Amino acid sequence: MKKALICGISGQDGTYLAELLLGKGYGVWGTSRDAQSSAFPNLVRLGILDQVKTISMAANDFRSVLQAINSCVPDEIYNLAGQSSVGLSFEQPAETLESIATSTLNILEVIRFLGRPVRFYNAGSSECFGDIQQGAADEESTFHPRSPYAVAKATAHWLVSNYRDAYGLFACTGILFNHESPLRPSRFVTKKIVRGAIDISQGKRKQLVLGDISIKRDWGWSPEYVDAMWRMLQTDKPDDYVIATGEANSLEDFVAAAFAELHLDWRKYVVKDKKLLRPSEITYNCGNAAKARHELNWQAEMKMRDVVREMIRHEL
């Protein structure tokens, strides 16, 4: 039986990845800063908590990472932990950098130090590309990070690349574009929109307050994206891959689709507030996953409107 360690198992991607790996016959371990006190609600929601071994690990503490990996002795490590909100990163830049970049460095160093044949996946981000302007970014596109979160993810990306080249580690980064699911926390705008539209349709509120709805994003479906993560670690040679749908839609399109699912006209309910604007924003991003299609036999089946429909259905 293969054994996988998922750092950040309690989040959206970590939970779906655990479900995927369990279905493939893996022994699955997952980390949390304090596993004894964590309720792991997402694992409970999918009914898999009793099938996962949870352990405590502070990824920004080298000794803690070493102890966790020594306890588990995994064949594969998936690093999905760290501060995950772009907006919050402007308020907590130091914590964001430490939880993403320093934590990634610690895991890489432990793998190098132990010298075991571990395969390592690092969660990258399309935010590293910054404002793409037009077209679609691929693995050769230049990074122009525009937030502390993106800077931290770019740092982690190059650390993985460096350790792969310098020490021969099987380490890769998945540069994932936006991907959603019912497990998204309420602080994310997509969940805020879906929940707001439903509340309005049920008479629980009268309006939904948003920031800039002209921005365009490439939205996919989280359960499909975690499959791409697994595929990256099954290849003969480690490499980095863009994971995306190849379709960009505006946040206004997302809002319209959510309200349309509930037979409502969004323009009657949505209010814009300049206080919700970020210090710097990406106006357009879109990904080209041709390499993943060719080398991993992976492509996104669900696009933005499919994602909205499923999120609405699950919330209802």
Which residue in the list 16, 26, 149, 241 is annotated as catalytic? 149
Which residue in the list 64, 84, 89, 125 is annotated as catalytic? 125
Which residue in the list 19, 78, 126, 127 is annotated as catalytic? 127
Q: Return d(Cα 89, Cα 91) in angstroms, integer.
A: 5
Query: Quick check: is 149 catalytic?
Result: yes
CB 129 within 8 A of CB 184: no
What's the distance, CA 93 to chain centroid?
Answer: 18
Cα angle value 153/295/287 (rounded, 5°): 45
Query: Quick check: is 222 catalytic?
Result: no
3-state secondary structure the chain: CCEEEEECCCCHHHHHHHHHHHHCCCEEEEEECCCCCCCCHHHHHCCCHHHEEEEECCCCCHHHHHHHHHHHCCCEEEECCCCCCHHHHHHCHHHHHHHHHHHHHHHHHHHHHHCCCCEEEEECCHHHHCCCCCCCECCCCCCCCCCHHHHHHHHHHHHHHHHHHHHCCEEEEEEECCEECCCCCCCCHHHHHHHHHHHHHCCCCCCEEECCCCCEECCEEHHHHHHHHHHHCCCCCCCCEEECCCCCEEHHHHHHHHHHHCCCCHHHCEEECHHHCCCCCCCECCECCHHHHHHHCCCCCCCHHHHHHHHHHHHC
CB 250 within 8 A of CB 212: no
* Residues recognised as catalytic: 125, 127, 149
